[in-house]
Amino acid sequence: MSTNIQEIKISKLTGKLKGFEAINTNTLTNDFCSKMRKSDAICAQCYSAKMLQGVRKNCAEPWQKNSNLLSSRVLKSEELPTINAHSFRFHAHGELLNYVHLKNFINICNKNPFTTFALWTKRKELIAKASKEGILPTNLILIFSNPKTTAVMHQVPQNFDKVFNASPRTAIEAMGETDCTGESCINCMACYRKDNDKNIIVERIK
């Protein structure tokens, strides 16, 4: 029997993220991302937008389908993927579009209780709403993406588990911080574990 269920596209990652899979969305059509790219935030140097306009042009269409599907309505359980992985990433490319998008990610976590999910986001207001409603799952690691490149955040924001900083090498050296650029994520796993003391993460901007 044929089915009309539209599947969420899962991407196999490469480079420092080799060994992980992710659910990505289209950065180029995300209104929040478009506004942030015009600011002085790290988003002005958005690697995702550059790649989707260049070497990853072919990904724009399937990731746009993810954007449409995840942000339009709360999906039924049978429409959500079953994840066979120890750790999984929400967004190697993309950002939360709206609260429906976040709720679908939360429901994916609930459907896959033995997988640890990590979500990088700058959208504190959406996370705060989910926290107030008491629906944040324990197998979801929330990482706040610091939009500022000039100062490392040393305090994790409310409702988050970790903070991710991206700064130039000169700023990192001046602040005496350690950067993780070039490290294989699967050999580090600092972002994918709640039970560690590395909650302030610093990466050098390439």
The dihedral sign for the CA sequence 43, 177, 204, 200: negative
Kindly give, in sequence order, each residue whose CB lies less than 8 Å from that of residue 76, ignoring residues fewer than 6 positions away: none
Place of tokens 């580090």: 188
pLDDT of 41 higher than 90? no
pLDDT in tens, 77-110: 999 999 999 999 999 888 999 999 999 999 999 9
DSSP 34: H
**Tens-digit pLDDT profile for residues 101-160:** 999 999 999 999 999 999 999 999 999 999 999 999 999 999 999 988 887 888 999 999
More confident residue, 51 or 69: 69
Q: Report the candidate in 125, 126, 76 with the shortest Cα–Cα distance to residue 104.
A: 76
* pLDDT tier for residue 35 given thresholds of 50, 70 and 90: confident
How many other C-beta atoms lie within 10 A of the C-beta of residue 174? 10
Reported confidence tier of residue 2, pLDDT bands at 50, 70, 90? very low
> Which position has the token pair 């950065």?
27
Please indicate, yes or no, whether the overall pTM of this predicted structure exceeds 0.85.
yes
